[in-house]
Structure 1
Amino acid sequence: MSETKTDTKNEDTANNNTSTEQKAMDDKQIKLNNKLKDKLRKYIKKLDETGTSITKEESIKLEVDTFKQLYKPKLAGNEQSYKNIPKFYFKLPRPDDTLAQKLREETRAQFLQKKSKELLDNSELKHLWSLLEKSNGNTTVTNNDELIIDYFQFKKIREEAGPKYKPYFTAEVFGRLQAAEGGVGRVRAVSLFNYVMRRVWLQQTRIGLSLYDVTGQGYLTEHDLESYIAELVPSLAALDGLDSSFSSFYVCTAARKFLFFLDPLRVGRVRIRDVLSCSFLDDLLELREEDLPMELQEQNWFSAASALRVYGQYLNLDRDHNGMLSINELASYGSGTLTRAFLQRVFQQCLTYDGEMDYKTYLDLVLALENRKQPAALAYLFRVLDINCVGYLDAFTLNYFFKAIQEQMIAHGAEPVNFDDVKDEIFDMIRPSDPSRITLSDLVRSGHGHTAVSILLELHGFWAYENREALAAAGDHA
């Protein structure tokens, strides 16, 4: 009993000593904080103890001393690390430095090979599906007896599958799939499996594209894209009948779409992540199907039918057969109603050779005219319409282009429409932030930018707008 009392007394004494030490430390910290506050007050007021203004040098010294006091715990024992900033930028090897170039290429190849081995192959995907089927999940009649798994089964499959599958079985993945399906604590097994397959495909494609990224900076130049597409063509069944003499033109046609839509600043390269996130690669790989319907092929820019159509139009416009298009030859494009004012601006704005347009520049124009609803196409056409290069279209600019429409109307024996009426309709349609000028963002935001530019650049577009109600009625009767 006496031993118990002694132990209790010792514990109380130890606790009292600890409390005393803690109190002393707290008092010391309070004094330090008060001292620092006084220094900061003097610094802020720019006054010393005598009430007179202190010099700039003294003020800076006071600030530095205060900073060191405040951040002393972080600097203690590691002060040298703040004096030496580690290297974070590494220059690319020079083109003439063969050894460095080869070392970089080999290193990147080894890295991509390592990443490729981390992906699931076909046998591992089949193993995953068998685990999903054996998970004892619930089935629902409303979803055609589809397998549904909850989070506990989700974790169980992750443990059974092994470490290679864990990146695909995170809580975030389950939460996103659950939210997408609107379920409560459960996801469909087929949705999970499709997610894993899609992610594996994206990673494989990312690695495949990276092999053509010579600099390793995450970009593909036009030459890199053309090399990738040229090596991909033999695996596309829908292109089996493509003539070898047309292959180079096909590759150029296909690569140009990536650059037109994914390179808005026209720097001659596209980001690999942008290539993966857009639908163009899906459209290109869709051509692996042997029995792709002709209707789908005609709608697909990358199909042989579409490429031959575009190239055939180019050859038909080239009346002097010199491989280039003059402004007079381009005037026959489409319905032949593109205004002279618009065509002149195209040749002023775009790259030409001795006043004539090559095939690549022609492709940009075709992509812009055939995809007028897309922001990239509107940006292209806006640059052409912006005759003063001021970033907006005002009444003067609209009148400049619509005057050419009026001239075409007179040439066709029609009575010209009053410009003020058309101008008011365009501004009412776009509803710009500034009521006196229309910017590119106004065109995109309104959702009617394609209609506005069509009114200004070709008679056919203006006629379609003027007769929209009659055309709509005819379409309903048909």
Structure 2
Amino acid sequence: MGEPSNGYFSYEHFYVVYCKFWELDTDHDFLIDKENLIRYGNHALTYRIVDRIFSQIPRKFTSKVDGKMGYEDFVYFILSEEDKSSEPSLEYWFKCMDLDGNGVLTRNEMQFFYEEQLHRMECMAQEPVLFEDILCQIVDMIGAENESYFTLRDLKGSRLSGSVFNILFNLNKFMAFETRDPFLIRQERENPNLTEWDRFAHREYIRLSMEEDAEDASNGSGDIWDESLEAPF
């Protein structure tokens, strides 16, 4: 898997990945199953794409435990998920979506994954975006040689390929893309040379640090007055 843009895993990167893994690994056996991974990113991913990850088609797990991914497998996943513009990431998600393994993504394969997105939008009482409209949008974004299917080469030739994957199987990122989230746009303008991974890791590091500080402050207040103790009067 490709590494972050600066060529190494900084402490900030390690901290974010480890915390994310620990949040999902509820029994702390250093293994994650499908139900754990479904909770990633506030239930951002569809069941269908998670099934494909656990089929180990895009990448064999190193955990050697049936139906479980280990820490190394999770590192590969999170790098792919949070920086869909990198070549290893594009290859990872392309293999996930290429159901018959013939090297092209067809309309039917894309629709198979998008159906679940559509259903989730309806369940959340959001205005559903029909697949026909999505397909037209994707064709414009990729600018492929043939409009009836896409190849990995087509995806690597478009800087919007990551957004195509988000549209098809990550509801939260699809919504952010559709609304052109102003916070994310500002982040990109302020740091145009950073990768999606760098931006994600920095954003999450700040959030996790703030949560930890708040937890420490909360624990510290217990030294002043422990409400679990009986009142002395």
TM over 0.5: yes
- Decide which of 153, 159, 164 is 1:452's aligned counterpart: 164
Q: 1:475: how far off?
A: 5.0
Is 1:443–2:155 an aligned residue pair?
yes
1:127-176 C-alpha deviation (Å, 9 max, x unpaired): xxxxxxxxxxxxxxxxxxxxxxxxxxxxxxxxxxxxxxxxxxxxxxxxxx
Aligned counterparts of 1:456 and 1:436: Cα–Cα separation in 2: 16
Q: Give me the identity figure in percent.
A: 28
Select the structure with the greater relative contact order (CA < 8 A; seq sep ≥ 6). 2
Aligned counterparts of 1:437 and 1:407: Cα–Cα separation in 2: 24
1:458-473 equivalences in 2 (<5 Å): 458-468=170-180, 471=182
Q: 1:416: how far off?
A: 1.9
Q: 1:454: how far off?
A: 1.2
Q: 1:474: how far off?
A: 8.6
Is 1:338–2:45 an aligned residue pair?
yes
1:380-413 C-alpha deviation (Å, 9 max, x unpaired): 1111111111111111011001011012112212
Q: 1:328 to 1:430 in 2, by over 3 A?
A: same
1:269-418 equivalences in 2 (<5 Å): 280=7, 284=8, 302-348=9-55, 349=57, 350-352=59-61, 353-418=65-130
Aligned counterparts of 2:145 and 2:40: Cα–Cα separation in 1: 34
Structure 1: 5+ residue stretches without partners: 1-259, 263-277, 285-301
Aligned counterparts of 1:463 and 1:404: Cα–Cα separation in 2: 14
1:439-468 C-alpha deviation (Å, 9 max, x unpaired): 111011122111111111210121122212
Q: 1:448 to 1:414 in 2, by over 3 A?
A: same
Check conservation: 1:338, 1:459, Cα contact below 8 A: yes
Greater CA radius of gyration, 1 or 2?
1
Q: 1:449 to 1:474 in 2, by over 3 A?
A: closer
Q: What does residue 261 of structure 1 align with?
A: 2
Aligned counterparts of 1:361 and 1:336: Cα–Cα separation in 2: 19
Where has structure 1 moved over 3 Å in runs of 4 or more? 470-476
Aligned Cα root-mean-square deviation (Å)? 2.3
Give the match's secondary structure for 1:334.
Answer: helix
Specify which structure has the higher proportion of helix: 1
TM-score between the two structures when normalised by the length of structure 2: 0.71
Check conservation: 1:351, 1:357, Cα contact below 8 A: no
1:45-194 equivalences in 2 (<5 Å): none
Query: What code does the residue aligned with 2:155 have?
Result: L
